[in-house]
Structure formats: structure tokens, C-alpha cells
């Protein structure tokens, strides 16, 4: 989302600075290469860091930022303080997990950030309701802007050749980092349950994370290691999706996952868990099959049902593409954010409203790391 929004705004003539954690795999910088978007890296070594807060304020001033947009808990708190000190409007977006809610001090910190910010954005209605309750705020203070994606070209795919699949082999694909909350263990168990019925079924997961070793060991124990593929971090998601017979989202918790939107725009038949805003995105099951989270048997039954019924799979894939094209495109998401930016910038006098616009983001890896610390 960060890379897409920054790239689109930069192309439209707005100058952007992305502030992101250092020490990652470099994917974000690679995505922004050649776009003229500036990237500033930081290292936050402890949850409470006055030095980082002052550095962030100085960075906003140095780039003559007019508006700051933070993502997720840690950057929302620091970004709200730094933007207030720098005298610029601030908003923040929460993307899904309610890890902030487990500790009172986090909820208080995020409530203070909300009071210092011009707007609080949730990517789903359900998350917006949680934020309102968790932070003791009026529901009207939280704006919902669903995530959006751009359909990636992928009519032809090299994935099946990469995996050395035969023409008769079937392939289920999932996209998501290898964390417990993504539910990949249940997809792996579903693959094992379907062995007798679909012995030529393979599962491939695009993503990286802490569960890689555990998933590989479990696949060997279930005797499906030769049909279970971990693809690592991929930038060619269109290519990956184009090779799939079915897209699977086995998550235990979600907001509005971009991977799901990309699969819909790629016209893939979908099996997904009924968590977060996923049922809404899939039209209550009209654009994909919904199953309970954490239920390998249900996941396997739904996956097997689509593999056995190509006509139903085609119907659902068409419905998914149509719904995503109407409600969840990148263009629609950007239009909503631009309208919000314009509203927040309106009170500024004309002399204080030049080009620069800051997107201060916490990328997925940084968000996960901060989420496990005791901020």
C-alpha cells in the first residue's frame, strides 16, 4: 500500500518522503527506485525513545513537510507528537491487528495520538468500531477507507515451470508473511487431508517469516513435503496468482488484506476465512467461499469443492473480479485519501501550502517488530 500510494502521488506532482525502519530486506526501497520518492531510514532500539521523537520532528522540518501520514501504533504515536511539534497536520491509519488493545498504556498513548491528529483512519468498518471502543472515542472520529489494489498483469505465468508442475497438477496459492496469525498451518493440514482425493494438489505460499522452519518440518511429518512450496518474498505477485487454480486466505485475523484484493482483481476463485472485513469484501460469500478460521477440515472441504467444480470456480472468480473492480481498486483508495488530505490541509494559509507531502509509514516488518515490544 505504501509503495503504491507514494508512487501514484509522486507521479501526480506531489513530493513524498517515506520514513521507514532500517535493517529490512530492502524491498520497499527497491519498489520506490526510480520514482523520485525520498526514503529516510530510522532505527528504533527501544519502545520509548525521546531521541527518535526529536529526530522525527527534525526530519519533518528539514523536508518542509506539509502533512504527515503515519501507519500503525508506533508511528502513529511518534508521528502525532512530531507533527504537532513541527506545526503540520497529521493523520494515521490502522490496518488490522488490535495488538495495541492488550495494554492500557498503549490504548492511552494511541488515544493521545488521536487527539493530536486531524483524522484517524481504519481500513475496515469492524476495525473502526474496535478503535472507537478501545480508545473511548466517538464513532464519528474514525473514518473508514478500505485498502485498494491494482490488478497486476499475469495472463502468462512462469510459476508452474518454476515449481516443475505437470499439466495435470493443481495449485493452491496463498500470499502472506509466515506468522502464526496468517493461519498457514491450517492450509498445510488441509493439503494433507486432501491427499487421497487430490493427490496432485500442490500448495505454494509467497511470503517470509518466523514460521518457515516449523512449516517445512510439519510438511515432512504430514508426508506432503514434495507438494508444499515456500516461495519467499516475491515482487511478482501477478505472476504467482496467474499460476494458481485457487487462492486461499487461511488467516486467523485480518483487516482488508491486499493479497485478497489482488487475487480478486486477478479473477482467481477464492477460499478465505471469515475474519475481520473479509466477509464484507467477498460480499458475504457471493465472491468467494468463506470458512471458519482455524478449521483445517472446513478449509480442505471448501478447497476440494472448488477443485471438483470448475463451473462454480469460474462463477466465483468472475464475481470476485467484478466486486473488486467496483469497490477495491487502488484508484478508489487514493481518491479517498486525497480528499482527506485536502480537508486537513484546507485550514493552512496559502503561504504554508506548497508541494511537499509526507507519507510517514511503518512497513509490515517494522510494524510486526514494534507490535511485539512493550511500547
Are 35 and 128 in the same domain?
Answer: yes
Averaged pLDDT for residues 119-123 = 95
Count the neighbouring beta carbons within 10 Å of the beta carbon of residue 335: 13
Are 113 and 182 in the same domain?
Answer: no
Helix axes of 296-308 and 184-193: crossing angle, nearest 10 degrees: 60
Dihedral sign of CA atoms 93, 75, 69, 335 in order: negative
Query: pLDDT tens-digit profile of 226-259?
Result: 999 999 988 889 999 999 999 999 999 888 888 9
Count the neighbouring beta carbons within 10 Å of the beta carbon of residue 87: 12
Q: Answer yes or no: is 61 within a domain.
A: yes
With contact defined as beta carbons under 8 Å apart, do 363 and 24 qualify? yes
Closest of 270, 282, 226 to residue 245, by C-alpha: 270
Closest of 150, 138, 119, 134 to residue 3, by C-alpha: 150
Please provide the size of the chain in residues: 375
Measured at the CA of 17, the angle between CA 11 and CA 20, to 5 degrees, comes to: 125
With contact defined as beta carbons under 8 Å apart, do 207 and 183 qualify? no
Are 202 and 308 in the same domain?
Answer: yes
Closest of 107, 67, 106, 72 to residue 84, by C-alpha: 67
Given a cut of 80, whether residue 57 has pLDDT beyond it is yes
Look at residue 354 in the predicted model and tell me its pLDDT: 43
Are 144 and 166 in the same domain?
Answer: no
Are 215 and 296 in the same domain?
Answer: yes
Are 179 and 191 in the same domain?
Answer: yes
Are 275 and 344 in the same domain?
Answer: no
Closest of 214, 162, 152, 157 to residue 188, by C-alpha: 214
Query: pLDDT tens-digit profile of 201-232?
Result: 999 999 999 999 999 999 999 999 999 999 99
Given a cut of 80, whether residue 345 has pLDDT beyond it is yes
Min mean pLDDT across 79-83, 148-152, 309-313, 350-354 is at: 350-354
- How far apart are the C-alpha atoms of 306 and 311, rounded to whole Å? 9
Element (DSSP H or E) covering residue 171: strand 170-175
Closest of 222, 268, 232, 297 to residue 25, by C-alpha: 232
Q: Band of the pLDDT at 145, cuts 50, 70, 90?
A: very high
- How far apart are the C-alpha atoms of 115 and 76, rounded to whole Å? 11
Tell me the residue range of the domain where 66 lies: 2-148+329-372
Query: pLDDT tens-digit profile of 18-54?
Result: 998 887 667 788 888 889 999 999 988 888 999 999 9
- How far apart are the C-alpha atoms of 33 and 316, rounded to whole Å? 37
Q: Answer yes or no: is 50 within a domain.
A: yes
* Distances from the Cα of 284 to the Cα of 174, 265, 274, 279, angstroms: 20, 17, 9, 5
- How far apart are the C-alpha atoms of 152 and 263, rounded to whole Å? 9
Q: Answer yes or no: is 364 within a domain.
A: yes
Are 57 and 67 in the same domain?
Answer: yes
How many structural domains comprise the chain? Answer: 2
Cα 316 off chain centre by: 23
Look at residue 360 in the predicted model and tell me its pLDDT: 45
- How far apart are the C-alpha atoms of 357 and 350, rounded to whole Å? 15
Q: Please, is 78 exposed, middle or buried when counting C-beta atoms within 10 Å of its C-beta (0-12, 13-18, 19+)?
A: buried
Averaged pLDDT for residues 121-131 = 90
Measured at the CA of 212, the angle between CA 70 and CA 166, to 5 degrees, comes to: 110
Question: Between 105 and 152, where is the model more confident?
Answer: 105
Q: Answer yes or no: is 153 within a domain.
A: no
Q: Residue 281: which CATH number?
A: 3.40.50.2000
With contact defined as beta carbons under 8 Å apart, do 89 and 67 qualify? yes
Min mean pLDDT across 21-35, 105-119, 206-220, 263-277 is at: 21-35
Q: Answer yes or no: is 359 within a domain.
A: yes
With contact defined as beta carbons under 8 Å apart, do 78 and 56 qualify? yes
Look at residue 187 in the predicted model and tell me its pLDDT: 98
Q: Answer yes or no: is 271 within a domain.
A: yes
Whole-number average pLDDT of the chain: 89
Are 269 and 258 in the same domain?
Answer: yes
Given a cut of 90, whether residue 365 has pLDDT beyond it is no
Are 106 and 190 in the same domain?
Answer: no
- Provide the whole-model pTM: 0.78
- DSSP string for residues in 5-40: HHHHHHHTT--EEEEEESSS-SHHHHHHTTTT-EEE
- How far apart are the C-alpha atoms of 153 and 184, rounded to whole Å? 26
Question: Between 156 and 271, where is the model more confident?
Answer: 271
- How far apart are the C-alpha atoms of 101 and 103, rounded to whole Å? 6
Look at residue 292 in the predicted model and tell me its pLDDT: 98
Given a cut of 90, whether residue 2 has pLDDT beyond it is no
- How far apart are the C-alpha atoms of 331 and 364, rounded to whole Å? 22
Closest of 118, 75, 71, 119 to residue 96, by C-alpha: 71
Amino acid at each position: 500500500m505504501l509503495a503504491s500510494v507514494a508512487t501514484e502521488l509522486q507521479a501526480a506532482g506531489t513530493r513524498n518522503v517515506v520514513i521507514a525502519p532500517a535493517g529490512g530486506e530492502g524491498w520497499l526501497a527497491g519498489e520506490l527506485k526510480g520514482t523520485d520518492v525520498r526514503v529516510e531510514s530510522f532505527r528504533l532500539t527501544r519502545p520509548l525513545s525521546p531521541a527518535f521523537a526529536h529526530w522525527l520532528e527534525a526530519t519533518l522540518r528539514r523536508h518542509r513537510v506539509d502533512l504527515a501520514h503515519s501507519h500503525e501504533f508506533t508511528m502513529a504515536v511518534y508521528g502525532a507528537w512530531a507533527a504537532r511539534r513541527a506545526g503540520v497536520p497529521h493523520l494515521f491509519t490502522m490496518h488490522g491487528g488490535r495488538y495495541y488493545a492488550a495494554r492500557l498504556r498503549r490504548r492511552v498513548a494511541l488515544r493521545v495520538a488521536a487527539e493530536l491528529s486531524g483524522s484517524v483512519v481504519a481500513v475496515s468498518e469492524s476495525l473502526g468500531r474496535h478503535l472507537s471502543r478501545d480508545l473511548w472515542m466517538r464513532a464519528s472520529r474514525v473514518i473508514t477507507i478500505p485498502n485498494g489494489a491494482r490488478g497486476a498483469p499475469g495472463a502468462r505465468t512462469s510459476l508452474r515451470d518454476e515449481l516443475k508442475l505437470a499439466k495435470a497438477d493443481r495449485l493452491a496459492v496463498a500470499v502472506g508473511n509466515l506468522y502464526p496469525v496468517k493461519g498457514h498451518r491450517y492450509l498445510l493440514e488441509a493439503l494433507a487431508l486432501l491427499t487421497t482425493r487430490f493427490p496432485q494438489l500442490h500448495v505454494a505460499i509467497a511470503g517470509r517469516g518466523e514460521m518457515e522452519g516449523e512449516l517445512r518440518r510439519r510438511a515432512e511429518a504430514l508426508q506432503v513435503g514434495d507438494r508444499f512450496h515456500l516461495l519467499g518474498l516475491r515482487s511478482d505477485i501477478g505472476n504467482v496468482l496467474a499460476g494458481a487454480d485457487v487462492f486461499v486466505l487461511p488467516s486467523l485475523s485480518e483487516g482488508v488484506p491486499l493479497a485478497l484484493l489482488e487475487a480478486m482483481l486477478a479473477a482467481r476463485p477464492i477460499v478465505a476465512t471469515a475474519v475481520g472485513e473479509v466477509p464484507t469484501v467477498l460480499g458475504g460469500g457471493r465472491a468467494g467461499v468463506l470458512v471458519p478460521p482455524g478449521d483445517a477440515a472446513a478449509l480442505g472441504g471448501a478447497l476440494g469443492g472448488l477443485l471438483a467444480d470448475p463451473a462454480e470456480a469460474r462463477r466465483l472468480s468472475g464475481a470476485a473480479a467484478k466486486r473488486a473492480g467496483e469497490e477495491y481498486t487502488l484508484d478508489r483508495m487514493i481518491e479517498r485519501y486525497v480528499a482527506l488530505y485536502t480537508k486537513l490541509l484546507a485550514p493552512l494559509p496559502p503561504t504554508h501550502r506548497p508541494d511537499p507531502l509526507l507519507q510517514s509509514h511503518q512497513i509490515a516488518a517494522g510494524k510486526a517488530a514494534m507490535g511485539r515490544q512493550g511500547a
